[in-house]
Amino acid sequence: MSSRTEIQELKQDFLEYIEIERGRSVKTVENYDRYLIRFFKQQNIKKLSDITNRSVKEFRLWLNRQESNKTVGTGQKGGTLKKRTQNYYLIALRTFLKYLIKQGHKVLAPDQIELAKVSDRSIDLISIEELNRIISGPDLATVKGLRDRAIFELLFSTGLRVSELCSLNRDLDLSKDEFPIRGKGEKIRVVFLSDEAKRAINAYLDKRDDMDEAMFVQVAGKGGKGVLEKKDSIRLTSRSIERIVKHYAIKAGISKKVTPHVIRHSFATDLLSNGADLRSVQALLGHANITTTQVYTHVTDRHLKDIHKKYHSKRK
């Protein structure tokens, strides 16, 4: 007989449902599991009837008073948890309750759990000049430098997420200007290659002497002149790419934090600044909701200043 409680059994069924039926990523499933476990443990939830307005309210108060450096989420360091981080827990709980209702259980209505109000999300940006300094940083006399240049050119050409970049294999058809990529929620979208990106990838692959299927792999030797011998996997991880980007940003004299996602921001803002419409950028980024894409619009309306200056009536 299973030692798991009723609530644990239902939670497991829910997690399997969102992964299989809803197509959520393994990472999302893991996060939902962690958020729900934290709620159950903190409020001593043993059965569905324990999930009440009071237990949710007490949990929200507890979350709101947690310091962000504790292992309760992904909030900022120092101070208390961001409202946005607190909402991740509430969203997971609401989704769980919606699933239970669909299964015929009588539980607290999900719409009774209101999310905390959050300020408009700001995005980190670098200028095109700063981006160019990063891209021109790698030493093209080494395999490592060729690899790193290819990473930067590909990130800026496609707007890929770092996890999507890491998943690429070297059998990518470079005779075409586009390729499909499987993104969040297992959704497939098409991204496009610039001539610069294709040249950089070809130059890098021409110097590879290993047989690993991964597009981007670890390199060894003084100055990164050779590819590591294969043990398990030499495919670069998301963390590895983040370290690479950080290294070249520092080398370029950029004091602000630069990540692969910042280059994705640069991709989006570059398109919008040059006249691309929001719906097209949404499709290229793989955003499920256009409101996610709209965060870029307030930083791409630089032409409005010129319009105001040109057309606004002058007081004489």
Q: What would the pLDDT profile of 59-70 be if each residue is shown by its tens digit?
A: 999 998 887 654
Written as one string, the DSSP assignment of 219-238 is EESTTS-EEPPPSS--BPPH
What is the C-alpha R_g of the chain?
Answer: 24
Given a cut of 80, whether residue 202 has pLDDT beyond it is: yes
**Six-digit token pair at 279?**
């719906």
Q: Can 161 be counted among the known catalytic residues?
A: yes
State the catalytic residue, choosing from 32, 264, 310, 315: 264
189 is catalytic: no
Q: What is the pLDDT of residue 244?
A: 97
Catalytic residue among 32, 89, 99, 296: 296
- Examine the residue annotation and report whether 88 is marked as an active-site residue of this protein: no
Q: Which of 11, 24, 147, 161 is catalytic?
A: 161
d(CA 20, CA 22): 6
The whole model's pTM is what?
0.66
- Do residues 258 and 134 touch, judged by C-beta distance below 8 A? yes
3-state secondary structure of 190: strand
Point out the catalytic residue in the list 82, 184, 199, 225.
184
Looking at 133, 189, 225, 261, which residue is catalytic? 261
Look-up: residue for tokens 């699933």?
99
- Is 149 among the residues known to form the active site? no
Query: Is residue 11 classed as helix, strand or coil in its secondary structure?
Result: helix
Interacting residues of 184 by C-beta distance below 8 A, sequence separation 6+: 25, 161, 286, 288
Closest C-alpha among 181, 185, 189, 134 to residue 162: 181
Residue 106 catalytic?
A: no
Average pLDDT (107-121) is 83
| Rama region for 114: left / alpha / beta (φ>0; ψ in -120 to 50; rest) | beta
CATH homologous superfamily for the domain 128-303: Intergrase catalytic core (1.10.443.10)
CA distances from 125 to 74, 152, 253, 261, 270 (A): 21, 15, 15, 10, 11
In the residue annotation, 184 being an active-site residue is answered as: yes
pLDDT at 74: 43
Confidence label for 2 from pLDDT (cuts 50, 70 and 90): very low
Which CATH architecture does the domain made up of 6-112 adopt?
Orthogonal Bundle (1.10)
Domain boundaries, the chain: 6-112, 128-303
Q: What are the helix (H) ranges across the chain? A: 6-20, 26-42, 53-64, 83-102, 128-135, 143-158, 162-166, 195-206, 238-251, 260-273, 278-285, 290-293, 303-311
69-96 residue pLDDT tens: 544 444 444 578 888 889 999 999 999 9
